[in-house]
Structure 1
């Protein structure tokens, strides 16, 4: 059977006989009620064609459903996503499993009666074995049983299990945190949310975990996306999205955005760097990475549910110092038994001549090429021994308790 928690949902009302939450009478519940945060993205459970994507009207088979998206799968069955706050697809559109179809809401007949604060917000999801007439009304079947059998036969969602997704993405997120100070927990949570646990059409086609637009290392792909007008109404456009060779490239590009910011504000996301996970989730939203007021809570819930903050501990880099004649001359980092330092800071402190080739990313100090150069947050760094010896000095001692390198010149 389907584990709805793997999709980020809590089940509040199963399929079958139940007491109606509004009038208290016993009646058949034709679907299953699933809850995330209000206005959280809802992703398609299967591939298919959209046959309805608007407010349901009485007599159409979708009375009292509010905004509803109905998708016909490869077998001809209909998957109904009801009470949506808004629809992200259009009738006639082909969708892939894991693609966003709308936002969770409380339109139509719900406990909240359309309350602005999201009271009563949930997804009513049902499966009908027929798509016609009246959108298959009356041919309801247990969504959990149907979807389980559908997936067993090799159809349906390409979404990974959260544990598998985390296992795949965490190593790259941790290594990237060591280089950029972007919390690994934030990277994993944003990737899970934006890609639908790796199942979005964009992720499957382009290894694009974060929905970043433009041209990437492997080109671009044109895909439909939902945009919002100033008044909050949505509309669809075709946009070019970056294509990556692998997930690590996508993660690196995401971190590059948070480190370098935007053209109008290079420091836009700097409050995220080295922050604890709660602060990072709030600050990335304040910097307008996403506009939904629920965005920080969605990320924090994911991090806490899957204990993603443990990866922040793995990605932390210890500070180290470099001393000459008892005086600190540079700050560095200690990682995996190696101290690295900003090359320019060390060269200037030792009175050495630095030449930096920004195209080839090659540094020479007093005419000697430095080995092991990396560019981190816009600064060239290298092992301290490499820079000191090129400048004519030597490493004299290492204090492991103080994390301090003593050099002589």
Structure 2
């Protein structure tokens, strides 16, 4: 397969433009992303270079859907960003092309040994119509950690943020003006070397696609009920539960389906004989309680011990809590706690509220947890769908996402 090499003397400000092609031409030009094994590199590898971007816009823009018709992750924008890597030369020239199928050899290692990791972040449109990303540096930091853990190549975070920002601006027409809407961005990296041998991939593909999405709760907050799950384990010490790998997600679907068959929306993942509370579904978990000994209010979440995903929303909740709740007398605590502790706090009226935290929903209030044949009430009254802390966190984070609260977390594209 012939590869385009990046000239060493290419000017930093150059953007390469290519002529538009017909849909038939695009189909005929489908690129083969699988590579054969190659010799190890003898020189320093090329990193991602935004100045080498090749832009090929679609001749057939898609019609926009009505905002109220958007379904999370079902509709996609006109274009995609792709960057190839191989072990001989490093990262190749980035391309923004019309959204299209990938061409991969059936022996590509992603299919056989799960060489795959991904990220999830959103682009927002502020009152002036500018496109903003929320804490993309944290996503890229985690993306690099995930890639390194499964022997995929790492990259310069600032360079990829630059490219994602350009991509988001190109697709900005898909972001509705109404508050609560955004563009969900999915950076993904896969191993593409065609071999059935088990070893570090000699080639990889990084791509970014985008999906316009509406509010996670279009009719307002809806508290969920959980089933405490101890018969299946989401993550374990020494494993990869703290990395965003596709292999972490598929095994969770059957337990979730079983929980839903019994009337619960998600699993609360417990770990070990002591039944430590870890995560809820695909989100980090928080509990607001009154300390039994001191009576002080505490916001609890599990520590980053290698089994907990380093959630960007988790970090945002903790930062805001230390900034705004601590002065009001709250203790913000990262420690291990058990389901028995939550049950005891609920029985004694000390469990104030509980919620999950993640990119899709920001926060997801919890009404009750099924545990050992009984329902543990998480502090909400029958007419309430969200507690005070969950509501505040949603509002505080959204203010920064949409640029209402000027802050370094908001990256203007």
TM-score by length of 1: 0.28
Q: Which protein has greater RCO, CA pairs closer than 8 Å, 6+ apart? A: 2
